[in-house]
Amino acid sequence: MTADEPTWMTDVADRQEHGIDERRWAVGHALGVYIALCGKLVLPRSLTAPCGRRCPRCAYLAAPPLAPTRVARLLRLMVS
Ligand SMILES: [Zn+2]
């Protein structure tokens, strides 16, 4: 896990695994509920329960940005 990588937590209601960034983790830890990257309020499921399917919006928001050279390569592939 890197400093920018969120902590993944499964919500008791939708059973999806949501990403929680470090800043929101500290606030949520005091309250027992967490605000996910996607904006959902997450009430954590038991840590002994299996992880849920990863929330696609959190996964998208947590993905590292593409390097400019990779973007250029992808654009070349799309036009060729
Ligand atoms: Zn989410």
Q: Cα of 77 to ligand 1 centre, how many Å?
A: 31
Q: Is 2 part of a structural domain of the chain?
A: no
pLDDT of res. 34? 96
Q: Cα of 46 to ligand 1 centre, how many Å?
A: 17
pLDDT, mean over the chain: 89
Q: Is 51 part of a structural domain of the chain?
A: yes
Q: Is 37 part of a structural domain of the chain?
A: yes
pTM comes to 0.74
Q: Cα of 37 to ligand 1 centre, how many Å?
A: 6
Q: Cα of 12 to ligand 1 centre, how many Å?
A: 13
Average pLDDT value for residue range 28-53: 91
CB contact at 8 A, 15 and 52: yes
Q: Cα of 43 to ligand 1 centre, how many Å?
A: 12
Residues in the chain, how many? 80
Q: What is the domain range of residue 25?
A: 7-79
pLDDT of res. 2? 56
Number of domains in the chain: 1
Residue 44 scores a pLDDT above 60 = yes
Q: Cα of 62 to ligand 1 centre, how many Å?
A: 10
Q: Is 48 part of a structural domain of the chain?
A: yes
Q: Is 29 part of a structural domain of the chain?
A: yes
Report the alpha-carbon distance of residue 21 to residue 10 in Å, rounded: 14
Q: Which two tokens stand for residue 56?
A: 């696609």
pLDDT of res. 1? 52
pLDDT of res. 46? 86
